[in-house]
Amino acid sequence: MPSISRAEVAHLARLARLAVTEEELDTFAGQLDVIVSSVATVNEVAAEDIPPTSHAVPLTNVFRDDVVREGLTNEQALACAPAAEDGRFQVPRILGEEQ
């Protein structure tokens, strides 16, 4: 005997604005009952002495440690720039243009 009734499935379908047939009500009631039973089984397995975990296996950081090192000088950064002005990259103006 399913714990999810046809009436409950019909109510859920109305809430979700789904059009379901009479045959689908029976099918969905059975499927939802299997889902509810599966969740109940999982709840039975969960023990209070086992702490909740976010991952099944331990995670390790795969990133290297940050090392501070000297960066480019302003002249080095602008050395290959197609255009520079007043120590900055020069780019075409795009704001305020009419099309």
The tens digit of pLDDT for each residue in 70-90 reads 999 999 999 999 999 999 999
Architecture of domain 6-45: Orthogonal Bundle (1.10)
The structure tokens listed for 78 are: 């602008």
Closest C-alpha among 3, 9, 12, 15 to residue 27: 9
Nearest Cα neighbor of 12 from 30, 35, 32 is 32
What confidence tens digit (pLDDT) does each residue in 12-70 have?
A: 999 999 999 999 999 999 999 999 888 888 777 767 777 777 788 888 888 888 899 99
Please report, for the chain, the start and end positions of each structural domain, with discontinuous segments joined by +.
6-45
What phi and psi, each to the nearest 5 degrees, are found at residue 22? Answer: -60, -40
* CB environment 56-85: b (16+ within 10 A), e (fewer): eeeeeeeeeeeeeeeeeeeeeebeeeeeee
